[in-house]
Amino acid sequence: MTLSAIPVQDRLIAALDVPDAEAARALVGRLGDAVSFYKIGMELCMAPGFFELLDWLKRERKKVFVDLKFFDIPETVLRAVRNLAERGADFCTVHGNQSIMQAAAAGKTGDTKVLAVTALTSLDQGDLDDLGFDCDIPTLVLSRARRALQAGCDGVVSSGLEVPRLRLEAPKELICVTPGIRPVENRVVADQKRIMTPAEAIRAGADYLVIGRPIRDAADPRAMALAIQQEIGSALG
């Protein structure tokens, strides 16, 4: 599937940032057909029923983004990605150097796509300076995106603020998955420092938007998801 052919419905990835599998299933039930793509990450991985939840989501014909940011010796990463691919995960994330990203890419099978983490949206330039990076965030993101594609990864996770430069300078086949999305009426930053609205991120060139708390914490999560879907469609149109 070309990036331009991504179904509008699939561009919203709802993050199941909840404490356990039971709460995740309940939220999926409330959202119904308003969401077709879900992210399950570290919090749920540390709770019972993680893989049963993944399998259940696939049986419900949902797409699943497993966001565990694999960072380990290459052989371990390869095997971890292979196991996820065999369970039908649609996206998974890797964090690390060239050999780790290459191993992750080598482990994927079927339709599973590997995304390289560039710079977390909870980091700003001051954080990069503290970590010893001798460059600005846009330069780091572009460098990691190029290296990820060279390693055989399918795309990156990147703040929407860096997506315009990626679209100008990175290969067109790069998948851009963008977290740190906050609807206009939900602009509390909390631990996210580099944020955008759904429409801003889509117009910047993001392919998929990961949105968690604005949906989870809404008085009516389904209504919020539908409003975001409408905003995405309008931005594309």
- Token pair in block for residue 167: 């679209």
- Token pair in block for residue 62: 């949902």
Question: What local confidence, expressed as pLDDT, does residue 134 receive?
Answer: 54
Amino acid letter, residue 235: A
Name the E strands within 75-182: 91-94, 113-117, 155-157, 175-178
CB 119 within 8 A of CB 69: no
3-state secondary structure (DSSP) of residue 233: helix
pLDDT for residue 10 is more than 50 = yes
Residue with tokens 């179904």: 7
- Token pair in block for residue 175: 């998948």
d(CA 198, CA 111): 26
Q: What is the pLDDT of residues 76-89, one digit of tens each?
A: 999 999 999 999 99
Task: Kindly state the DSSP code that residue 162 receives in the 8-state scheme.
Answer: T
- Average pLDDT of 127-136? 56
* 51 labeled binding residue: no
Query: Could you give the residue numbers annotated as active site?
Result: 67, 69, 72
Q: What is the pLDDT of residues 52-70, one digit of tens each?
A: 999 999 999 999 999 999 9
Residue with tokens 């191993």: 103
Comparing CA positions, the residue from 237, 185, 231 lying closest to residue 209 is 231
As a 3-state breakdown, the chain gives helix, strand, coil percent values, each rounded to 5, of: 50, 15, 35
* 74 labeled binding residue: yes
Looking at per-residue pLDDT, the higher value among 167 and 193 belongs to: 167
In this prediction the pTM is: 0.89
CB 160 within 8 A of CB 192: no
* 111 labeled binding residue: no
Question: What local confidence, expressed as pLDDT, does residue 217 receive?
Answer: 95
User: Domains, the chain, ranges and CATH?
Assistant: 8-236 (3.20.20.70)
Question: What local confidence, expressed as pLDDT, does residue 186 receive?
Answer: 46
Residues 6+ apart with CB under 8 A from 58: 64, 87, 88
Comparing CA positions, the residue from 5, 28, 6, 7 lying closest to residue 18 is 28
* 182 labeled binding residue: yes
Q: Work out the pLDDT band at 161, boundaries 50, 70, 90.
A: confident
pLDDT for residue 129 is more than 60 = no
Residue with tokens 């939840």: 53
- Average pLDDT of 104-118? 95
Residues 6+ apart with CB under 8 A from 4: none
Burial class (CB in 10 A: 0-12, 13-18, 19+), 110: exposed
Amino acid letter, residue 105: A
Among 44-48, 125-129, 191-195, the range with the most confident prediction by mean pLDDT is 44-48
Average pLDDT over the chain, rounded to whole? 88
Looking at per-residue pLDDT, the higher value among 145 and 229 belongs to: 229
